[in-house]
């Protein structure tokens, strides 16, 4: 049996650790964040992800899953070492690989086995794995033979565990067929198609996939503007397009633009990579521009409706960048809130899971409510930013009841125009005709 160590117990590292232990492996997750490790020792995940706490407890109790903040403990005896640390955006937008290089140095310094395979889960620009390998070789104390495998992650927050167990594919990129075969064997119990390729192509597949998905979102968002102008309905258009199997219905949901910890940073990193390689990715540039514009759409609609927004009171429903997660990294909701504040609007917000993280990020600049009802009370307008089930099924009659004059700016097209038409609500959504 292999001893697997995962460096970084965040969204990707922890989910990977939990799922690998669930299929029978012995896994140690190492994170330098003491608080995170302390919380994991109590069997509770440091972030919200459906189904995670149950699987975490199960595998800790079965003595297959361990946590430590000591690289020394985590790496002694490990023969398969996953790197799943963050690769965030720097202030100038470029990718920050500091944690990746630190993880590589930790492996060189603390791994005690002579033969190790290092598996990179983190999203890194093409060529980074070669640098990781060089760093490990340079700092290695005990390691004699090491190979590197790129195994990029495709899980989505909010459905992460399901995404691992029922993935469309697992990408295994390596220039060493023997190591690739070992990683394929480790993943076999997931019973998911495995595509093996070379190291650089695997790195490229991750960026290309995210860029393509971002492109689908920006494409439908740009069409949404045209639909509003020509009297079409983007929801109908998306269904009709998606029925074509060459197009597919997923990621054709018009809204307030993509956010989260991956698409914004990965599109940026890919553009940078292309510039460094002397290539122009014109489509990607357009995708990113459309997305930036899309974050402004709801505020523009509100300004058109009210004239000035100064002194108005707004309710914001949804803070996370998508439903079923408490992650607010690059959430369009936070960007829109900041824009509303700049326009002199006072805000009361509600989110089923993301309020603590929002308080940490923007503090008391806004007020927080304990329910949708409380959020709506005495407000002049509502902004719907995240389509949590609780929000999209909230009865329209309640808006009528709780607000003096209900005005909704729905960034997720939660309600059908047909339903809205039965109420005295002024309703503005994305890519559809307004109702008032």
Which entry of 29, 30, 227, 262 is annotated as an active-site residue?
A: 262
In this complex, which beta carbon is closest to ligand NAD, that of residue 157 or of residue 387?
Answer: 157
What strands lie across the sheet with 407-410, from one edge to the other? 367-368, 346-350, 313-317, 381-384, 407-410, 426-428
Count of CB atoms within 10 A of residue 372's CB? 21
- Chain centroid to CA 318: how far? 15
Q: Side-chain half-sphere of 271: how many Cα atoms within 13 Å?
A: 17
Shortest Å, Cβ 243 to ligand NAD: 29
In this complex, which beta carbon is closest to ligand NAD, that of residue 330 or of residue 410?
Answer: 330
Q: Is 262 among the catalytic positions?
A: yes
Q: For tokens 């190492």, what's the residue?
A: 30
Asked whether residue 265 is marked as a ligand-binding residue, the answer is yes
Name the DSSP letter for residue 275.
H
Query: Hey, is 115 helix, strand or coil?
Result: strand
DSSP 279-316: ---HHHHHHHHHHHHHTTHHHHHHHHHHS--TT-EEEE
How far the first Cα of the chain sits from its last, in Å, is 65
Count of CB atoms within 10 A of residue 231's CB? 8
Shortest Å, Cβ 138 to ligand NAD: 17
In this complex, which beta carbon is closest to ligand NAD, that of residue 6 or of residue 384?
Answer: 6
Asked whether residue 87 is marked as a ligand-binding residue, the answer is yes
Asked whether residue 36 is marked as a ligand-binding residue, the answer is yes
Number of H helices, E strands in the chain: 19, 14
Asked whether residue 219 is marked as a ligand-binding residue, the answer is no
- Which residues on neighbouring strands pair with residue 5, listed in sequence order? 28, 81
In this complex, which beta carbon is closest to ligand NAD, that of residue 222 or of residue 330?
Answer: 330
Shortest Å, Cβ 282 to ligand NAD: 24
Produce one character per residue of 271-287: b if its CB has 16 or more CB atoms within 10 Å, e if not: bebbeeeeeebeebeeb
In this complex, which beta carbon is closest to ligand NAD, that of residue 28 or of residue 99?
Answer: 99
What CA–CA distance (Å, rounded) separates 332 from 338? 10
Asked whether residue 369 is marked as a ligand-binding residue, the answer is no
Asked whether residue 390 is marked as a ligand-binding residue, the answer is no
Q: Is 311 left (phi over 0), alpha (psi -120 to 50) or beta?
A: left
Asked whether residue 31 is marked as a ligand-binding residue, the answer is yes
Shortest Å, Cβ 194 to ligand NAD: 17
In this complex, which beta carbon is closest to ligand NAD, that of residue 122 or of residue 187?
Answer: 122
* Residues at the site binding ligand NAD, with contacts judged by CB under 6 A: 7-13, 30-33, 36, 84-87, 99, 102-103, 106, 121-123, 153, 155, 157, 261-262
Shortest Å, Cβ 307 to ligand NAD: 40
Count of CB atoms within 10 A of residue 62's CB? 11
CB closest to ligand NAD, residue no: 10
What CA–CA distance (Å, rounded) separates 424 from 406? 8
Asked whether residue 180 is marked as a ligand-binding residue, the answer is no
Shortest Å, Cβ 88 to ligand NAD: 7
Numbered residues of the known binding site: 31, 36, 87, 123, 154-157, 206, 251-255, 259, 265, 322, 329
Active site residues: 262
Numbered residues of the known binding site for substrate: 154-157, 206, 251-255, 259, 322
Numbered residues of the known binding site for NAD(+): 31, 36, 87, 123, 157, 265, 329
């Amino acid at each position: 049996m292999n001893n697997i160590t995962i460096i970084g117990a965040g969204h990707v590292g922890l989910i990977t650790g939990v799922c690998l232990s669930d299929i029978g492996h012995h896994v140690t997750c190492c994170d330098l964040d003491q608080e995170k490790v302390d919380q994991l020792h109590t069997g509770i995940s440091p972030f919200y992800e459906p189904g995670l706490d149950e699987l975490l407890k199960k595998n800790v109790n079965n003595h297959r899953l361990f946590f430590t903040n000591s690289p020394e403990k985590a790496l002694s005896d490990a023969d398969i070492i996953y790197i799943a640390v963050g690769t965030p955006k720097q202030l100038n937008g470029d990718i920050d690989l500091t944690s990746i290089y630190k993880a590589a140095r930790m492996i060189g310094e603390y791994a005690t086995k002579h033969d190790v395979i290092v598996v990179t889960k983190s999203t890194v620009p093409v060529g980074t794995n070669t640098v990781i390998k060089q760093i490990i070789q340079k700092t290695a104390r005990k390691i004699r033979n090491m190979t590197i495998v790129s195994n990029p992650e495709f899980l989505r927050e909010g459905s992460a565990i399901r995404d691992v167990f029922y993935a469309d594919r697992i990408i295994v990129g390596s220039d060493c067929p023997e190591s690739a075969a070992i990683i394929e064997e480790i993943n076999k119990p997931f019973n998911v198609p495995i595509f093996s390729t070379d190291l650089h192509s695997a790195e490229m597949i991750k960026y290309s996939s995210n860029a393509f998905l971002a492109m689908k979102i920006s494409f439908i968002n740009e069409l949404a503007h045209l639909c509003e102008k020509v009297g079409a309905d983007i929801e109908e258009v998306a269904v009709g397009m998606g029925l074509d199997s060459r197009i597919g219905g997923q990621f054709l949901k018009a809204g307030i633009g993509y956010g989260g910890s991956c698409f914004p940073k990965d599109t940026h990193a890919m553009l940078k990579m292309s510039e460094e390689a002397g290539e122009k990715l014109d489509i990607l540039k357009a995708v990113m521009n459309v997305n930036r514009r899309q974050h402004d759409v709801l505020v523009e609609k509100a300004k058109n409706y009210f004239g000035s927004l100064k002194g108005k009171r707004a309710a914001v429903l949804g803070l996370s960048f998508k439903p079923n997660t408490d992650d607010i990294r690059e959430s369009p909701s936070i960007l829109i809130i900041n824009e509303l504040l700049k326009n002199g609007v006072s805000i009361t917000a509600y989110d089923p899971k993301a309020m603590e993280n929002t308080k940490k990020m923007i503090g008391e600049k806004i007020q927080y409510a304990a329910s949708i009802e409380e959020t709506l009370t005495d407000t002049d307008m509502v902004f719907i930013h995240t389509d949590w089930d609780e929000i999209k099924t909230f009865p329209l009659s309640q808006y009528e009841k709780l607000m003096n004059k209900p005005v909704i700016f729905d960034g997720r097209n939660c309600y059908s125009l047909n339903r809205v038409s039965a109420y005295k609500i002024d309703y503005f959504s994305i890519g559809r005709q307004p109702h008032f």
